């Protein structure tokens, strides 16, 4: 069964460094999402992406964050200058056609900022 993949599974970085989290959504899906979950807290929406542009973003998704679909398969989340509070699990998800469909989640990338 097709699945969403994410790399790396874990990343440790120093505060102020740039990180890029990678996702490969299911191949025929058109809508992509990034979420984050700080340890012990609820999952939070970061951004949705459709037709090569941001469809919606949350207040968390400030200028430090960017998303890109550099080729036909990858979907990346870049954090320009990481802060301690960016430490979290980051999930990528995709849906086939619209936002009102079952979301398929990747396994997550655990980011630790020291």
Partner 1 sequence: KNEVEQSPQNLTAQEGEFITINCSYSVGISALHWLQQHPGGGIVSLFMLSSGKKKHGRLIATINIQEKHSSLHITASHPRDSAVYICAVLYNTDKLIFGTGTRLQVFP
According to the binding rule CB under 8 A, does residue 69 interact with partner 1? Answer: no
DSSP designation for 86: G
Identify the residue among 79, 91, 94, 111 touching partner 1 (CB under 8 A): 91
Identify the residue among 38, 43, 97, 114 touching partner 1 (CB under 8 A): 43
According to the binding rule CB under 8 A, does residue 104 interact with partner 1? Answer: yes
40 sits in the region (left: phi over 0; alpha: psi -120 to 50; else beta) called left
16 sits in the region (left: phi over 0; alpha: psi -120 to 50; else beta) called left
According to the binding rule CB under 8 A, does residue 51 interact with partner 1? Answer: no
DSSP designation for 84: G
Beta bridge partners of 109: 90
Please give the distance of CA 78 from its chain centroid, rounded to a whole number: 9
According to the binding rule CB under 8 A, does residue 25 interact with partner 1? Answer: no
Stretch that binds partner 1, among 12-20, 22-30, 67-75, 104-112 (CB under 8 A): 104-112
Rounded distance between C-alpha atoms, residue 65 and residue 56, angstroms: 13
According to the binding rule CB under 8 A, does residue 101 interact with partner 1? Answer: yes
Give contact residues for partner 1 (rule: CB under 8 A).
Answer: 31, 33, 35, 37, 41-45, 48, 50, 55-56, 58, 89, 91, 93, 99-105, 107-108, 110
């Amino acid at each position: 069964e097709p699945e969403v993949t994410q790399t790396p599974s874990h990343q440790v970085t120093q505060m102020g460094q740039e990180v890029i989290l990678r996702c490969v959504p299911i191949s025929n899906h058109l809508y992509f999402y990034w979420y984050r979950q700080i340890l012990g807290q609820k999952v939070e929406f970061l951004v949705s992406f459709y037709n090569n542009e941001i469809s919606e973003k949350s207040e968390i998704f400030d200028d430090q964050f960017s998303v890109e679909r550099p080729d036909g398969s990858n979907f990346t989340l870049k954090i320009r200058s990481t802060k301690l509070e960016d430490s979290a699990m980051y999930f990528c998800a995709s849906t086939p056609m619209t936002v009102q469909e079952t979301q398929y989640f990747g396994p997550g990338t655990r980011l630790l900022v020291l």
